[in-house]
């Protein structure tokens, strides 16, 4: 399909705080359709803890793993559209997170989905990641950096790439990054593993929303089939099964738990967690398996799932 996953909200209020030296994060909107679900009443988030049921500290769980383990061999909880934290910059259709980046990292998230549009602000998210990794030297962060290239602040591919290079080299961020191929955990510790979702000819990990040499991704965000959340739920559990059955793959499995398709993000995520994700993970909790990167909306409402994903790394 050619419909974009998200459409940019216009106006000054439609731009989030800057990333990568001011590459502004878009406040993007989910298109409301005639079949859009009625939003549920607000769901109370559970009390936040600093440890998982398996006894792993959420801020330092990677530090308890062997440095020789390949990053490809881990289950990496993540967030989808990681910086869409404020509905005031758009609407509830574009709101995907309540925790900011520092809290996401402290609570165990290790994949950030950073979507940039234009040039504003400062390098807040990079500096927040650096501060976290300096304080927690056993950890790493995988960062998808996407050029949305929409709206009044859009940068064309060449200019976006030039400015990324400027921040890496001229402003001194290059040492913060691991830039070439999937590393072992020991190599990645203390650094951001860059995943490029922008036009480039660099020797870096290249994103794919489908399949390429680096990724095998499930990101079914809309469907015209009946009972779309059931369809999405099956796609999620099938991707978990496929990843578990393919432990030596050179591709990183990615399994987005989020769904748009005319549903309010909180409602869609709650249904998917209740009906598909949590039942699957609890039923297979004792199985030694790695599931790859698992981005979600609102992990503060789904701490039980976040903890199950972290603990999955300690089953073998």
Q: What is the pLDDT of residues 96-142, one digit of tens each?
A: 999 999 999 999 999 999 988 764 543 889 999 999 999 999 999 99
In a domain, 32, yes or no: no
Strand ranges inside the chain, DSSP E: 7-8, 15-19, 23-26, 28-29, 75-79, 111-116, 141-147, 177-178, 192-197, 205-206, 215-218, 252-255, 292-296
Average pLDDT of every residue of the chain: 85
Candidate ranges 64-73, 118-127, 140-149; pick with highest mean pLDDT: 64-73
Closest CA to 282 of 305, 255, 310: 305
In a domain, 255, yes or no: yes
In a domain, 40, yes or no: no
In a domain, 116, yes or no: yes
Q: What pLDDT shows up at residue 3?
A: 39
CATH number for the domain harbouring residue 107: 3.20.20.190
Q: What pLDDT shows up at residue 33?
A: 35
pLDDT level of residue 316 (50, 70, 90 thresholds): low
Closest CA to 309 of 53, 49, 47: 53
Q: What pLDDT shows up at residue 261?
A: 87
Q: What pLDDT shows up at residue 265?
A: 85
pLDDT level of residue 95 (50, 70, 90 thresholds): confident
Work out how many domains the chain is built from and give that number: 1
User: Quick check: 19 pLDDT over 90?
Assistant: no
In a domain, 286, yes or no: yes
In a domain, 189, yes or no: yes
pLDDT level of residue 161 (50, 70, 90 thresholds): very high
| Contact present, 50 and 59 (Cβ < 8 Å) | yes
Say which DSSP state 57 is in: B
DSSP 160-218: HHHHHHIIIIISS-GGGEE-SSPPBHHHHTTSEEEEEESS--SSSEE--SSB-SSEEEE
pLDDT level of residue 151 (50, 70, 90 thresholds): low
| Contact present, 302 and 273 (Cβ < 8 Å) | yes
Q: What pLDDT shows up at residue 174?
A: 97
pLDDT digits (tens, 9 = 90+) for 192-245: 999 999 999 999 999 999 999 999 999 999 998 889 999 999 999 999 999 999
In a domain, 46, yes or no: no
Domain that holds residue 217: 21-26+52-312
In a domain, 153, yes or no: yes
Q: What pLDDT shows up at residue 168?
A: 94
Share of the chain above pLDDT 70, in %: 80
């Amino acid at each position: 399909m050619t419909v974009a996953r998200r459409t940019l909200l216009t106006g000054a209020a439609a731009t989030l705080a800057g990333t990568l030296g001011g590459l502004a994060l878009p406040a993007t909107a989910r298109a409301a359709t005639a079949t859009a679900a009625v939003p549920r009443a607000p769901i109370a988030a559970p009390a936040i803890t600093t440890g998982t049921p398996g006894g792993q500290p959420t801020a330092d769980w990677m530090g308890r793993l062997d440095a020789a383990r390949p990053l490809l061999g881990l289950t990496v909880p993540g967030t989808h559209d990681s910086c869409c934290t404020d509905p005031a910059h758009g609407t509830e259709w574009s709101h995907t997170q309540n925790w900011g980046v520092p809290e996401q990292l402290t609570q165990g998230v290790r994949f950030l989905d950073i979507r940039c549009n234009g040039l504003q602000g400062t390098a807040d998210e990079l500096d927040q990641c650096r501060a976290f990794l300096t304080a927690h030297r056993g950890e790493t962060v995988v960062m998808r950096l996407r050029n949305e290239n929409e709206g009044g602040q859009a940068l064309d591919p060449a200019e976006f790439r030039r400015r990324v290079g400027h921040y890496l080299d001229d402003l001194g961020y290059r040492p913060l990054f691991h830039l070439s191929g999937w590393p072992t955990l020991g190599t990645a510790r203390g650094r951001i593993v860059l995943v490029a979702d922008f036009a480039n000819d660099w020797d870096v990990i290249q994103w794919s929303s489908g399949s390429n040499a680096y990724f095998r991704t499930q990101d079914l965000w809309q469907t015209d089939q009946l009972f779309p959340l059931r369809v999405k739920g099956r796609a999620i559990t099938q991707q978990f099964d496929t990843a578990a059955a393919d432990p030596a793959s050179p591709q990183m499995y990615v399994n987005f738990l989020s769904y748009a398709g005319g549903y309010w993000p909180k409602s869609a995520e709650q249904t998917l967690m209740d009906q598909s994700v949590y039942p699957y993970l609890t039923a297979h909790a004792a199985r030694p398996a790695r599931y790859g990167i698992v981005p979600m909306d609102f992990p503060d409402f789904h701490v039980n799932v976040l903890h199950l994903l972290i603990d999955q790394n300690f089953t073998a």
